[in-house]
């Protein structure tokens, strides 16, 4: 270790935490694989013991999957990888993600609607990150309508200097307390939630120089908007 790196304080938390998440994922996938093999073996037996074992293995598999999801979300949240900004049509990205999610939503009895502002200009976006953010919002909307399938609406429009995409659901909505904490890291009201979805949405939008809006009423539904600057004031455009 040279002097310079010895003196360097340990402040690159994102690299440190991202690396830890990465290291944890390897043994987890080994555990996952072996649990699946174990499950296969156990489910061939038809004794009550074998049945109980299968149930226990299923429980473990569920927990392992939850950890894997959490680590992937965590890696994305702390990632400092530079944005890959390109001039994109926000409508195309939204339409693509919706098409991808359509089958799952429809199967759950959720109606899907979209309203596109066809006059939106091309704007600088990191397409992968915008997709991730949008997906997080759609998954939350889906979860919110789990017990009473309603309608998911995704719309785009221009608002001043921003291209706005809104995800609107007719789900359970949030009370004041939940709304206040919804964007806090690890806050979740779900049994299997990670509490990393909305923080990730916020981080992605803010890295683009954009803004997030959120309205919700209990029993009525939720509307979350991501506004991306049309001229691009995101990280990669600094100083240009
Ligand atoms: N569309 C929504 N409708 C109702 N509640 C929501 C919605 N989106 C987010 N929330 C609330 O905000 C919390 C945090 O969301 P998120 O950060 O995505 O974590 P997670 O989905 O893992 O719980 C959720 O647990 C839920 O209480
Ligand atoms: Mg979520």
On whether both 123 and 229 belong to a single domain, the answer is yes
The 3-state secondary structure of 7-57, one letter per residue: HCCCCCHHHHHHHHHHHHHHHHHHHHHHHHHHHHHHCCCCCHHHHHHHHHH
Backbone φ and ψ of 228, nearest 5°: -110, 130
What value does the mean pLDDT of the chain take? 92
On whether both 14 and 117 belong to a single domain, the answer is no
Residue 5, pLDDT score:
52
The span from the CA of 198 to the CA of 224, in Å, is 10
Range in 133-137, 144-148, 162-166, 229-233 the model is least confident about: 229-233
Confidence of residue 15 (pLDDT cuts 50, 70, 90): confident
Q: Looking at residue 211, which CATH number applies to its domain?
A: 3.30.565.10
Confidence of residue 117 (pLDDT cuts 50, 70, 90): very high
pLDDT for residue 236 is more than 70: no
Residue 9, pLDDT score:
63
Nearest CA to ligand 1 atom 25: 188
Pairing of strands 123-125, 162-169: unpaired
CA of 221 to the centre of ligand 1 (A): 12
Q: Report the C-alpha dihedral over residues 44, 50, 55, 60, rounded to 10 degrees.
A: -90
Q: Which ligand has the shortest distance to the CA of 182?
A: 1
Q: Do residues 194 and 185 make contact, with C-beta atoms less than 8 angstroms apart? A: no
Mean pLDDT for 172-188 is: 97
Residue 238, pLDDT score:
44
On whether both 64 and 99 belong to a single domain, the answer is no
Residue 239, pLDDT score:
40
On whether both 210 and 110 belong to a single domain, the answer is yes
The span from the CA of 144 to the CA of 173, in Å, is 7
pLDDT for residue 183 is more than 70: yes
On whether both 74 and 102 belong to a single domain, the answer is no
Residue 14, pLDDT score:
83
Confidence of residue 12 (pLDDT cuts 50, 70, 90): confident
> Where in the sequence is the domain holding 100, given as residue range(s)?
86-237
On whether both 53 and 115 belong to a single domain, the answer is no
On whether both 165 and 134 belong to a single domain, the answer is yes
On whether both 60 and 164 belong to a single domain, the answer is no
Confidence of residue 234 (pLDDT cuts 50, 70, 90): confident
On whether both 61 and 156 belong to a single domain, the answer is no
Answer with the one of 53, 78, 103 that is the final residue of a domain: 78
Mean pLDDT for 8-15 is: 73
Q: Residues 131-141: pLDDT tens digits?
A: 999 999 999 99
DSSP structure class, residue 237: G
The span from the CA of 226 to the CA of 133, in Å, is 9
The span from the CA of 202 to the CA of 136, in Å, is 11
Mean pLDDT for 30-40 is: 97
Within 6 Å (CB) of ligand 1, which residues are found?
A: 136, 140-141, 144, 169, 171-174, 178, 182, 187-190, 193-198, 222
Locate all alpha helices (DSSP H) within 108-196, ordered by sequence: 127-144, 176-181
What is the tally of structural domains in the chain?
Answer: 2
Residue 6, pLDDT score:
56
Q: Which ligand has the shortest distance to the CA of 69?
A: 1
On whether both 214 and 130 belong to a single domain, the answer is yes
On whether both 90 and 74 belong to a single domain, the answer is no
Answer with the one of 54, 78, 102 that is the final residue of a domain: 78
Q: Looking at residue 74, which CATH number applies to its domain?
A: 1.10.287
Answer with the one of 23, 54, 78 that is the final residue of a domain: 78
Q: Do residues 57 and 39 make contact, with C-beta atoms less than 8 angstroms apart? A: yes
On whether both 100 and 138 belong to a single domain, the answer is yes
- The better pLDDT of the pair 134, 4 is held by 134
């Amino acid at each position: 270790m040279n002097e310079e790196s010895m003196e360097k304080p340990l402040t690159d938390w994102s690299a440190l935490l991202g690396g830890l998440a990465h290291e944890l994922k390897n043994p987890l996938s080994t555990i996952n694989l072996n649990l699946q093999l174990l499950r296969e073996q156990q489910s061939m037996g038809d004794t009550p013991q074998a049945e109980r074992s299968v149930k226990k293995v299923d429980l473990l598999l569920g927990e392992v999957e939850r950890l894997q999801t959490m680590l992937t979300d965590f890696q994305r949240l702390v990632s400092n990888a530079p944005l890959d900004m390109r001039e994109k049509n926000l409508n195309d990205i939204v339409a693509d993600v919706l098409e991808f999610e359509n089958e799952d939503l429809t199967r759950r009895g959720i109606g899907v609607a979209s309203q596109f502002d066809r006059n939106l200009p091309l704007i600088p976006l990191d397409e992968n990150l915008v997709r991730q953010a949008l997906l997080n919002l759609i998954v939350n909307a889906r979860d919110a309508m789990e017990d009473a399938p309603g309608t998911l609406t995704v719309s785009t429009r221009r608002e001043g200097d921003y291209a706005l995409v809104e995800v609107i659901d007719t789900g359970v909505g949030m009370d004041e307390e939940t709304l206040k904490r919804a964007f806090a890291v690890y806050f979740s009201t779900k049994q299997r939630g990670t509490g990393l979805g909305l923080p990730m949405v916020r981080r992605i939008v803010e890295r683009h120089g954009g803004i997030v809006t959120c309205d919700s009423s209990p029993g009525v539904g939720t509307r979350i908007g991501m506004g991306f600057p049309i001229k691009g004031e995101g990280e990669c455009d600094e100083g240009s």
